[in-house]
Amino acid sequence: MVNDWLRFAEAKNGVILTLTGAALGVLLGLMTTTAFTSRLLFGYVAACALLLASSLAAALMSFTPMTRPPATRAARRAAVPNPLFFGDLAEMSTSDLLGETCRALGVDGSAMTAAHEHAAAQIVANSRIALWKFRLATVSVYLAAAAVALPLPLLAVWWQRRFRV
């Protein structure tokens, strides 16, 4: 289940990477073939390209190989953490997860073996990696959205001047 979270996060970042890369390629092609008569228009297009490049970089960063999970902030957890939610798992330690699991199953903690501890450590590590990848995907989406929205006011002004009677 936890590995599915990682696969989903990587697939999401792959789509963002593809769409952002294509948009950046089109925009850079436009910049090299168009003679800009307005500095404002060139500024908008250049800012859009910069935001797309930043989005691309954030999406690419999510694919960096990780052998250790990223450090998490010391955030306050809910009163009752959910050992099935990766966001809560990312904030747990291995012993916290084992304790929550024992309480949920109503078993004594002494029944846990080294294999249980290793499995819990892997679940916590993968949860932290998935959380980190989702955060990078969020940054990438916001940057891409800003790149798309940035030229809209300029297009409105251009449209008004172009078709003014």
pLDDT of 119-154, one tens digit each? 999 999 999 998 888 888 888 888 887 887 777 677
Average pLDDT, the chain: 80
Counting residues of the chain whose pLDDT is more than 90, the rounded percentage is: 15
Residue 165 banded pLDDT, cuts 50, 70, 90: very low
At 72 the pLDDT is: 58
pTM of the full structure:
0.60
Cα→Cα distances 112→54, 91, 120, Å = 46, 21, 10
Q: For the chain, what are the domain ranges? A: 2-162
The answer to whether residue 75 scores a pLDDT higher than 50 is: no
Q: Pick the residue with more confidence: 9 or 152? A: 9
Rg of the chain taking only CA atoms, in angstroms = 23
Residue 141: φ, ψ to 5°? -65, -45
- When pLDDT is averaged across residues 47-65 and rounded to a whole number, the result is 82
Question: Which DSSP category does 158 fall into?
Answer: H
Measured over the CA atoms of residue 11, residue 17, residue 23 and residue 25, the dihedral's sign is negative
pLDDT tens string 84-130: 778 888 889 999 999 888 888 888 888 788 999 999 999 999 999 98
For position 122, what pLDDT does the model report?
A: 94
Q: Which tokens sit at 124?
A: 């916590």
Q: What is the structure's pLDDT at 64?
A: 67
Q: Which two tokens stand for residue 93?
A: 């330690």
